[in-house]
Amino acid sequence: MQSLRVALIDDEPLARLGLRARLADHPGFECVAEFGDSASALQGLSAAQPELLIVDVQMPGLSGLDLLALWPAEQRPLAILHTAHAQHALRAYELQVVDYLLKPLDEERLAEALGRARTAWRARALGLSAAPAAKRQRFELRVGRQVHFVDDGEVAWIESAGDYAELHCLDGRRLLLRESLSRLAERLDPERFVRVHRSAIVRMDQVAALRPLSNRDALLQLRDGSLVRASRNHVPQLLERLRDTGSAPPSHG
């Protein structure tokens, strides 16, 4: 498997050290350069020729977002933002970043972001749009000797249950699926379903309201009245995807 060449751009040496160590645990990604600010990155990126940048937002001089904006969209390297500040998410998605990670870095979110980067890189190499085609799923559940089929349109949200996943259906049924939440997240249509927590996936058109919590997590109220917690690392991506679909819920403070 060909490795993606990765450059780290962050003014915090410890942050770069941590990222470099974690990248070493992900086969297929090679750290080829690291820079402490945008100015040095501008000087060294042409020689390093990275395919993916992991960029801090707030740095001395030129910010990470301003650095990305220097490239025309069709020439810009793939980028993952890594920042302590959630308020830059809107501009980040305008610049078509692969993902937006909040510090302190969550290992599961890093793995998701790297997976998206590889998918986008393959699509770019083939001259395709990185946006995945819509995928409708039918779940197969065995109850005794019977096999039940549930269309994903019947599902409001999905909850982790150890090595299994519990489907919360719009009609109130709760069905146990013999598949892990992580495996489901890979095959569900990301335009319709989004992971909001390590233990939960929601269907975006079912989100009725969002209430920020004091620790920067959020509480989602679904249209059936269910309450689902969204972790702080997933909230920026969730909001931007909801806004992109024109279905952003009210935010209650």
Q: What is the overall mean pLDDT for the chain? A: 85
- Asked whether the beta carbons of 168 and 174 are under 8 A apart, the reply is yes
Residue with tokens 């335009």: 191
More confident residue, 126 or 13: 13
pTM of the predicted model, to two decimals? Answer: 0.58
Q: What would the CATH number be for the domain defined by 4-125? A: 3.40.50.2300
Q: What is the third-level CATH fold of 138-244?
A: OB fold (Dihydrolipoamide Acetyltransferase, E2P) (2.40.50)
pLDDT digits (tens, 9 = 90+) for 97-147: 888 888 888 888 898 889 888 888 888 877 655 444 445 677 877 766 767
- Asked whether the beta carbons of 93 and 80 are under 8 A apart, the reply is no
Domain positions in the chain are 4-125, 138-244
The values of phi and psi at residue 68, to 5°, are: -65, -35
Residue 126's alpha-carbon distances to 75, 113, 119, 122, 123, in angstroms, are 15, 20, 11, 6, 5
**Among the listed residues 132, 114, 120, 113, the one whose alpha carbon sits nearest the alpha carbon of residue 189:** 132
